[in-house]
A and B are shown apart, each in its own frame.
Chain A
Amino acid sequence: MSEIIVYAIVLVALAVPLGAYMARIYRAPLARWEKRLFGEHEQTWREYAVAVLVLNMLGIAVVYVVQRGQALLPWNPNGLPAVDPRVAFNTAVSFGTNTDWQAYGGETTMSHLTQAVALGVQNFVSAACGMAVLVALVRGFTRRHADTIGNFWVDLTRSTVFILLPLSVVLSIALAQQGVPQTLAGQDHAALVEQHAAQTVAVGPVASQIAIKQLGTNGGGFYSVNSAHPLENPTPLTNFLECLAILLIPTALCFTFGRLVGSRRQGVALLVVMALLVVPFLALTAWAESRGNPVLSSLAIDQHLGNMEGKEVRFGVPASALWATVTTAASNGSVNAMHDSFTPLGGLGPLVLMQLGEVAFGGVGSGLYGLVIFAIVAVFIAGLMVGRTPEFLGKKIEAYEMKMASLAILVPVAAVLIGAACACLADETYTKALGNPGAHGFSEVLYAFSSMGNNNGSAFGGLTGSGTFWATAGGIAMWIARYWIIIPTLAIAGSLARKKSVPPSAGTLPTAGPLFVVLLVGVVLLVGALSFVPSLALGPIAEHLGG
């Protein structure tokens, strides 16, 4: 409990100055090198969207090719073979879309070159894409009678070079100091105590990868068990820092948003909405896990430390529950404990947080633009109630914005539910994928598509997602969920930028106050509940009641 409070205090204390710094970065006039490289031309929303797609498809192609060719390429000290084509496709889409779903075990599948040069670079680029799209959306609100919403290449490089990279350097050095390996070698050796032999330990460029996968809400670990591994996350301090890194940029971006739209209170209001959505589920998961596993309570064991199956002793239950909550609230998806072994209600929290659409913190940039989309729906609903044209941040919200907002909200919901339904019909699910029987098996399926269909990447790890159906359907779900939010979001940005700004009048709903905060929380919860309660009843709720 005390760790959770310290976490919240340190998070806000760091996010406020970082938010101000990021606002300065995005506001700065074009530097000479930027003009020389990218020109002074600005882009319409369509050009901006095409640029996003071209860069992403190119990146996904590179990741695929490097995985398939890693056996022939340098920096493969453990001599790993080419990655299976289905897994390579799934992984390429996964890292390009900032999902980082892992249908493989890192240390036994990916060469160091693949980890650092293919996956690591996408960790930066996909995160920076989300931040760029957010900044483009902000320009939709701040510009009047404008055809353009900025230059994607400038927004992307600034996000990478001036925000993600410096933070990653600081965090990776801190992690290396605590014992996280960062070496060109593939193996290290430790003397075994009980035998006259040495233990072979997989190592590599771990610290640099972990820093960005936490900061960029990516989540794809170097090791198979992600940040539960004693070399990926060796101490309670590294655990605190890595967990902090998950929410740092999504939180700071709320303050950046407030500064950029000229209303700091608006940024704070959106942050309060995010916190209100997350805290109840954090409480639920922490409480359920601290009680231990009820099924084991009849045995001669002492569960006062809580449900310890799939958890590491150095973190304990509170820090594991905190991580599980923030990694699914943000679209990070890294783990320091195995969610598959959480109690039914403990696992319900992370599952629901993904199903809320990754808007309570969410991915860097993508979470906040997702929440702004929900805010557009909320002012529309409020407008319907009083019979007035809705406005948000001085821009009239009309039919076009509502159509795009509905698409952005409903497409991921469809990806989750249709994907999970198809998986239940696929033979492969029963012959290969499922790791547990009964209602818990259904929870594994629902969790997987909730994760991929919202670009989170977290998994109930007992599920094997490397078969043909799972690797392909998952890749498609991740693809749809990412770009069918980005394109409507940029369309809204383009449409808003063209409009004039209307000054607030007596009938304008103030969007930085408590009334709007409650309304927005309600809209997010309502959409989530209407979409997913029936499926939750078949999974974790059935398991809880039946177990």
Chain B
Amino acid sequence: MSHVKPALLVLAALTLLCGVVYPLTIAGVAALFPDRVPELVGQAFTAPGYVWSRPTATKYDATTSGATNLGPTNPALADAVRQRIAALQAADPGARGPVPADLVTASASGLDPDISPEAAYFQAARVARARHVAEAAVRDEIRHHIEDRTFGVLGAARVNVVELNRALDARFGGSLVP
């Protein structure tokens, strides 16, 4: 029983230090940094005039998060990918070449804000047609939104879909919201 007293003492002291003082101190420091939530969390896009985000298991509901967790050989995965390819082709019958994989596979978080540059360019013709603007102008806007790998080595090149669509609205006159 001689161990119970030091155990209580140590647990109480470390709870105060690591469970209260530490998170509150970091919260104080974090208040100095800007709130980046609006650019970091992905959103769903369905109108043809917007660049679409990746498929999601959570419909971009950011009160939760989740993946499909479909195994690689699960027939449901191949079926879902087939349907997504068909939907993209139906929205843009003239689409050229194979669909970039990230545009027809669900993300890990269900909230991925990014798509690959190839997946953005793939949608340029559809977006341009829906907005009645030149495809070259849409591709130009996409090019401006490509973020390369950090320091040239970390992660992957990407386009933030939320930021890109905000910029498309700003450049081509207003929101497409009905």
Inter-chain CA distance A58–B176, complex, in Å, is 58
Q: Which residues of A contact B36 (CB under 8 A)?
A: 178-179, 234
- Is the Cβ of A225 less than 8 Å from the Cβ of B108? yes
Does chain A have a CB within 8 A of B173?
Answer: no
Is A161 in contact with B162, judged by CB distance below 8 angstroms? Answer: no
Residues of chain A with a CB closer than 8 A to B66's CB: 105, 224-225
Is the beta-carbon distance between A461 and B67 smaller than 8 angstroms? yes
B107 interfacial by beta-carbon distance below 8 Å: yes
Interface string of A46-71 (1 = CB under 8 A from B): 01001100110011001000000000
**A251 CB within 8 Å of chain B:** no
A38 to B31, CA, bound (A): 38
Binary B-proximity of A332-354 (CB < 8 A = 1, otherwise 0): 00011110111110000000000
CA distance A509 to B156 in the complex (A): 47
A-contacting residues, B120-167, CB 8 Å: 149-150, 153-156, 158, 162, 165-166
CB pair B33–A462 under 8 Å, yes or no, is no
Whether B6 and A153, one on each chain, are in contact in the complex, defined by CB atoms closer than 8 angstroms, is yes
Contact, CB under 8 Å: B25 / A338: no
Query: What residue of chain B has the Cβ atom nearest to residue A240's Cβ?
Result: B154
- Give min CB distance, B117 to chain A, whole Å: 10
Q: How far is the CB of B15 from chain A (nearest CB, A)?
A: 5
Interface centre among A231, A302, A315, A443 (most CB of B within 10 A): A302
Closest Cβ of chain A: how far from B123's Cβ, in Å? Answer: 14
Q: Are A340 and B10 in contact (CB under 8 A)?
A: no
Tell yes or no: B37 within 8 A of A by CB: yes
Indicate if the CB atoms of A168 and B10 lie closer than 8 Å. Answer: no
A313 and B107 in contact, given A55-B10, A343-B72 (Cβ under 8 angstroms): yes
Give A190-236 interface residues, CB cut-off 8 Å to B: 190-196, 199-203, 205, 207-209, 212, 223-225, 228-231, 234-236
Decide yes or no whether B82 CB sits under 8 A from chain A: yes
- A230 contacts B85, CB within 8 Å? no
A165 & B17 in contact (Cβ 8 Å cutoff): yes
B118 proximal to A (CB < 8 A) = yes
B40-A231 in contact (CB<8A):
yes
Give the contacting residue for A201; candidates B37, B72, B153; CB below 8 A.
B37
A 24-55 contacts with B by CB, 8 A: 37-38, 47, 50-51, 54-55
Cross-chain contact of A2 among B9, B108, B153, B158 (Cβ < 8 A): B153
Taking the closest CB of chain B, its distance from the CB of A7, in whole angstroms, is: 9
Q: Residues of A at under 8 Å CB distance from B?
A: 2-3, 6, 37-38, 47, 50-51, 54-55, 58-59, 62, 105, 107-108, 116-118, 120-121, 124-125, 153, 156-157, 160-161, 165, 168-169, 172-173, 176-179, 181-184, 187-188, 190-196, 199-203, 205, 207-209, 212, 223-225, 228-231, 234-237, 239-240, 292-296, 299-317, 319, 335-338, 340-344, 435-441, 443, 460-462, 543, 546-547
| B interface residues (Cβ-Cβ under 8 A, vs A) | 3-4, 6-11, 14-15, 17-20, 22-23, 25-27, 29-31, 33, 35-38, 40-47, 50, 54, 60, 62-74, 77-78, 81-82, 85, 97-102, 104-116, 118, 149-150, 153-156, 158, 162, 165-166, 169, 175-177
